[in-house]
């Protein structure tokens, strides 16, 4: 099948209006859906087809935008940093013991690589900050950690289930 100038012009017109490749193939006749997609790709036509939005789609878009905003606000609730937070105490591998945080900082192949070195929580390898990074519960990233408790509740649940 050869693409004539008329068929190419019609393809561009229909593609711009948001018709599907199957619909365009039917209208042109004697052309497969894949041939339409291939020609559109070779013509560098936009891959994004603008769909017509009805009143229902606009309502759904507003709801999605609200949910995205709420999710962004919730992301920062999962990380609680106290004002009197213990500073890092950079340590090399040989200097680590049972009471130091073993969270790696940087890449082992880099020259400035070290371990956090803060005081680790009882029964864990990491300090309070890195424990929050290491043990995020599935689908519960917005859960706020109680500052008064030594070990966050979701980690206690994880210990019991292990």
Structure token digits, residue 97? 């013991």
User: pLDDT tens digits for 73-94?
Assistant: 444 444 455 555 678 889 998 9
The pLDDT score that the predictor gives to residue 79 is 44
User: pLDDT tens digits for 107-136?
Assistant: 888 888 999 999 888 888 888 778 777 877
Which of helix, strand or coil describes residue 134?
helix
Structure token digits, residue 133? 């990074």
Structure token digits, residue 3? 């693409």
pTM of the full predicted structure? 0.37
The pLDDT score that the predictor gives to residue 132 is 76
Q: Which residue has the tokens 């013991």?
A: 97
Residues 6+ apart with CB under 8 A from 147: 80, 82
Domain boundaries, the chain: 5-42, 55-162
The pLDDT score that the predictor gives to residue 29 is 86
CA distance 74 to 77: 5
Q: Which residue has the higher pLDDT, 137 or 130?
A: 130
- Say yes or no to pLDDT of 34 above 90: yes
- Say yes or no to pLDDT of 25 above 70: yes
CA distance 9 to 47: 17
What's the mean per-residue pLDDT of the chain? Answer: 75
């Amino acid at each position: 099948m050869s693409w004539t100038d008329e068929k190419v012009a019609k393809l561009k017109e229909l593609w711009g209006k948001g018709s599907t490749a199957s619909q365009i193939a039917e209208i042109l006749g004697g052309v497969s859906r894949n041939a339409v997609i291939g020609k559109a790709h070779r013509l560098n036509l936009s891959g994004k087809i603008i769909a017509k939005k009805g009143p229902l789609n606009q309502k759904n878009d507003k709801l999605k935008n609200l949910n995205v905003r709420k999710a962004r606000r919730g992301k920062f609730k999962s990380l609680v940093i106290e004002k009197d937070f213990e500073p890092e105490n950079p340590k090399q591998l040989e200097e680590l013991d049972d009471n130091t945080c073993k969270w790696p900082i940087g890449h082992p192949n880099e020259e400035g690589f070290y371990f956090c070195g803060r005081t680790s929580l009882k029964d864990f390898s990491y300090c309070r900050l890195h424990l929050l990074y290491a043990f995020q519960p599935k689908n519960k990233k917005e859960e706020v950690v109680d500052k008064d408790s030594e070990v966050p509740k979701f980690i206690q649940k994880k210990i019991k289930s292990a």
